[in-house]
Amino acid sequence: MATISTLHYLVVAAALFILGVIGVLTRRNVVIVLMSIELILNAVNLNLVAFSRLWGLQGQVFSIFVITDAAAEAAVGLGILIAFFRNKETVNVDEVDLMKW
């Protein structure tokens, strides 16, 4: 691999995306599920900045908005988690079943 092309960055971003998806779908602890969602968002950011190198500055501006969005979503998600923990004393996704049939 003499030169690092765009495809190298896209492969790294895809690997991080897959790791994030595995974390969201397999883990039992809600906090780790939220952290895997942050992994997914970071993979998308890497994709955006890698393509922004080729096609202009819009990718970097979009990635700044994605980071802002991730901050807002993490704050609200963790607020929900705290409210849930106050009621049920657990951080287990399998026990979030009050609205199941």
Partner 1 sequence: MQPVATTFFFYLLAGLAILGGVLVITRRNAVHSALALILTLLSLAGLYLMLYAPFVAGVQIILYAGGIMVLFLFVIMLVSIEKSQKQEQFNSIWLVGLLSAVALGGLLVAVFVKGKELFPERMALPPEQSNTQAIGIALYGTYLFAFEMASLLLLVAIIGAVVMAKKRI
Q: Is residue 16 within 8 Å of 39, Cβ to Cβ?
A: yes
Q: Within 32-71, which residues bind partner 1 (CB under 8 A)? A: 32, 34-36, 38-39, 42, 45-46, 49-50, 52-54, 57-58, 60-61, 63-65, 67-71
Burial environment of residue 45 by CB neighbours within 10 A (0 to 12, 13 to 18, 19 or more):
buried
Taking CB under 8 A as the criterion, the residue among 7, 87, 98, 101 binding partner 1 is 7
Q: Does 5 bind partner 1 (CB under 8 A)?
A: yes
Q: Running DSSP on this structure, what letter comes out for residue 5?
A: -
Shortest Å distance, C-beta 82 to partner 1: 5
| Residue placing its CB nearer to partner 1 in the complex, 72 or 99 | 72
| Residue placing its CB nearer to partner 1 in the complex, 25 or 99 | 25
Q: Running DSSP on this structure, what letter comes out for residue 92?
A: B
State the residue for tokens 């990718």. Answer: 59
Determine the Cα–Cα distance for residues 23 and 33; give it in Å rounded to an integer. Answer: 6
Shortest Å distance, C-beta 4 to partner 1: 5
